[in-house]
Amino acid sequence: MTLSDTDADADADAVEQQAPASPFPETHGRQKGYDKQAVDDFLAHAREAFEADPAEASVTSADVRRAGFPLVRHGYAVAAVDAALGRIEDAFAARERERALSRAGARAWVGRSRDLAQEILDRLSRPRGKRFVRVGPLRYGYRIDEVDVVADKLVAYLETGEPITVEQVRMVAFRMQRGGYRETQVDAVLDSVVEVMLAIG
């Protein structure tokens, strides 16, 4: 299972077309956006990494997924940059999948993805309200009921193949509440879900 030349070219375009000119709209007024220089630097670095030998690449799909930028006035529109990062992450993930398949074989790659999916499922199958560690009663975390609703949908996806897209997982957002779920734990699991979905292809 390898990428065709056409697919590989499309993946390269996804990375390369974003970095040279950074064609993103800017925010106006009091609305904040991503710091332009930080975005431009990251995209240039991502392009260099994608053009390098995959064995020596300094950027992975996980790095793209976790990229964060300062929010400033007159920055790049957040939605536009996030959409571009999603495409770039897909390109890196496809290349990583191809390399892993060629080195370890399909059975090992599928086995690794299955193990990660089982870890996620074990976590999300816990009782509602107890799926993640909660922050202290005076601190803010993700709203428990909203996270649990998303967790139920992800369990259905992993157990029965209920339709859900990578983009839907990437775009998930939660309101905050005192004593809510710890953000870092929830975000880490969502990152792992995206990893599994991209690994499966």
pLDDT digit string, tens, across residues 124-173? 999 999 999 999 999 999 999 999 999 999 999 999 888 999 999 998 99
pLDDT of residue 151: 96
Residue 16 above 70 pLDDT? no
Of 145, 109, 132, nearest to 189 (Cα)?
Answer: 132
Averaged pLDDT, 176-189: 93
Residue 8 above 80 pLDDT? no
pLDDT grade for 72, boundaries at 50, 70 and 90: very high
Q: What is the mean pLDDT of the chain?
A: 85
Q: Which residue has the higher pLDDT, 129 or 198?
A: 129
pLDDT of residue 112: 77
pLDDT grade for 10, boundaries at 50, 70 and 90: low
